[in-house]
Amino acid sequence: MTRAPLFGLAAAAAFALSGCAAVGPNYHLPRNAAANAPAAQGAFQEAGPKTGVSADPLPPRWWHLYDDPVLDALEEQALAANTDLRIAAANLARARAVTSVAEGAKEPEFKVDAMAERARLSGESYLLSESLPVMNLGEGMGGVSYQIDLFGQIRRSVEAARADESASEATVGVVKVTLAAEVARAYLTQCAAAEAIDIGEKAIAVDTRSLDIARRLKEAGRAGESDVTRAEARLAQVESLVPAQRARSRAALYRLAYLMGKAPADYPREAQRCTAIPAIARPLPIGDGAALIARRPDVHVAERQLAGATARIGIATAALYPQIGIGLSGGSFGLLKDLGTAPANTWSIGGLLHWTIPGGGERARVRAANAEADAALARFDATVLGALRETETALATYAEDHNRAASLGEARAAAEREADEVRAMRKAGRSPLLASIGAAQATLSARAAETGAREAIAMDQVNLFLALGGGW
Give Cα 428 to chain centroid, integer Å. Answer: 64
The predicted-structure confidence for 107-162, as pLDDT tens digits, reads as follows 999 999 999 999 988 878 878 888 889 999 999 999 999 999 999 999 999 999 99
Cα angle 202, 206, 210 (rounded to 5 degrees) comes to: 165
392-404 pLDDT, tens digit per residue, is 999 999 999 999 9
The reported pLDDT for the residue numbered 357 is 85
Q: Which range, of 58-67, 332-341, 429-438, averages the lowest pLDDT?
A: 429-438
DSSP for 17-51 reads HHTSPPSSPPP---TTSGGGSHHHHS--TT--TTS
Q: Output b/e per residue, 73-93; b: 16+ Cβ within 10 A.
A: ebbebbbeebebbeebbeebe
Region 20-46: mean pLDDT is: 93
Percent of the chain with pLDDT over 70: 94
Give Cα 317 distance to the centre of its chain: 33
Q: Which CATH superfamily is domain 28-128+151-320+358-468 in?
A: Outer membrane efflux proteins (OEP) (1.20.1600.10)
Domain limits, the chain: 28-128+151-320+358-468
pLDDT given at position 427: 67
Average pLDDT in the 440-459 region? Answer: 93
pLDDT of 174-186, one tens digit each? 999 999 999 999 9
Q: What is the dihedral of CA 381, 384, 386, 388, to 10 degrees?
A: -140
| Percent of the chain clearing pLDDT 90 (strictly above) | 74
pLDDT for 190-219, tens place per residue? 999 999 999 999 999 988 988 888 888 888
Minimal CA–CA distance to 448: which of 397, 411, 419? Answer: 411
